[in-house]
A and B are shown apart, each in its own frame.
Chain A
């Protein structure tokens, strides 16, 4: 069995989860704590990837990052290419999963008692310090839940990836694409084996996480 799709998918899902955390958590905090113009619009845009069918989303994304698209041309000017690379698979996984991180973390932040944050501020803590030492520790279960969902969604991402990264064996063929490809080619044995690996990864991950969560608190 070709193990390339497994490693690629692990790397893609890990990168995408990290990127969605770095961008999603601040957005979630903004939505939970701040009132600003365009907040409702941002809230709607955030869930858009869950509404549009993945292939359709991929179609639009490809128009933007393809070599004729605005972002594609800007990247090309820097000598970079994103479409049809593993980077595009990471982008696809991010787009597919960021709503899960944002909505979970936002719900977590909203349940944190504002008075506790206020108390920290009266004790002279900066906003940054309040976030790291009060808000996030109190909301970490929600953030973790969102992270797990995002990782699983990233690992299983299919439609957007198929469009923007292609399904190129040995280059951008992720685990879900490889399974689909084997089914298309009537190689059910290999398809089943790869599907089993995907399930195995998630089971091990969830088991490990629940142990970790119990150890910590």
Chain B
């Protein structure tokens, strides 16, 4: 037994001990970005690295989670929220720098149909079809694209009728996965993530929901605000814009 104890302590030393080959150098810029930016930012970040020589660590997730983490000292330099209201709140709390707040895109929603389902749905009304048993949307309580989906369905007068069919994803990528997997025959997701082989989609009129204005800002505790600002400008500039556009975002100056 005493041998086991010393063995345990040796293991602990190995595991807790400082400096191993596995510990990588900290990347120079950490970006917390909403899940709908996953595909676009994975293309933009390498170009920014090439242009500036800086390293970028991309962390994707739920805007709400990120807001909580940044409030508690999360090591982000830049925060790209899927909804500007989160950025406004954090600015009011003094966590983000007001003068760095930048509108970088407007999100669009689409009606997505699982290819496995067969007929491609072209209007919201066809969600009533009894063969569509589940409709995936992001959770409208906290996910911006879920809120937009709810508004669009209410506007179309379908919300009450569709309620029993609705399944909620945690974020927009999660919602799309319900449709990708065929677990939901259809769903309402962000255009920016909708281009996957398993899914067909048609755009939903932007007038059906309140604008999905997306804002970014620099975190006050960031030790390198200039680099963060350079990244925001890169996304909004001649390098980032065509990529953002290709992934279905409307850009500042276009809406």
CB <8 Å contact, B24 and A62 = no
Selected A-B contacts with CB under 8 Å, 14 pairs: A12-B15, A18-B11, A18-B15, A19-B12, A69-B72, A81-B73, A84-B75, A163-B65, A170-B57, A171-B57, A183-B177, A184-B60, A185-B38, A185-B60
The interface of chain A, by Cβ under 8 A from chain B, is: 4, 7-8, 10-12, 14-15, 18-19, 21-22, 59, 62-63, 66-69, 72, 81, 83-84, 90, 132-133, 136-137, 140, 162-163, 166-171, 181, 183-186
Say whether A66 contacts B72, CB under 8 Å: yes
The answer to whether A184 touches B38, judged by C-beta atoms less than 8 angstroms apart, is yes
Which A residues lie within 8 Å of B237 (CB)? none
- Residues on A with beta carbons closer than 8 Å to the beta carbon of B173: 184
Q: Which of B128-186 contact A (CB under 8 A)?
A: 173-174, 177
> A170 CA to B72 CA in the complex, in Å?
21
CB-based contact A68/B72 at 8 Å: yes
Q: How far is the CA of A167 from the CA of B38 in the complex (A)?
A: 14
- Complex: how many Å from CA A184 to CA B33? 13
Q: Are B75 and A163 in contact (CB under 8 A)?
A: no
Contact between chains at A7 and B22 (CB < 8 Å):
yes
In the complex the two chains form, what is the Cα distance from A181 to B38 in whole Å? 10
Alpha-carbon distance A72/B69, docked complex (angstroms): 13
| Cα(A137)–Cα(B26), bound, Å | 45
- When distances are taken between beta carbons in the complex, the residues of chain B under 8 Å from A170 are 24, 27, 57
* Interface residues as binary, B1-24 with A (CB distance below 8 Å gives 1, 0 otherwise): 110000011011011100010101
A169: chain B residues within 8 A (beta carbon): 27, 57-59
Nearest A-chain residue to B75, judged by Cβ: A84
Contacts of A137 in B (CB 8 A): 1
The A-contacting residues of B in range 11-66, CB under 8 angstroms, are 11-12, 14-16, 20, 22, 24, 26-27, 30, 35, 38-39, 42, 57-61, 65
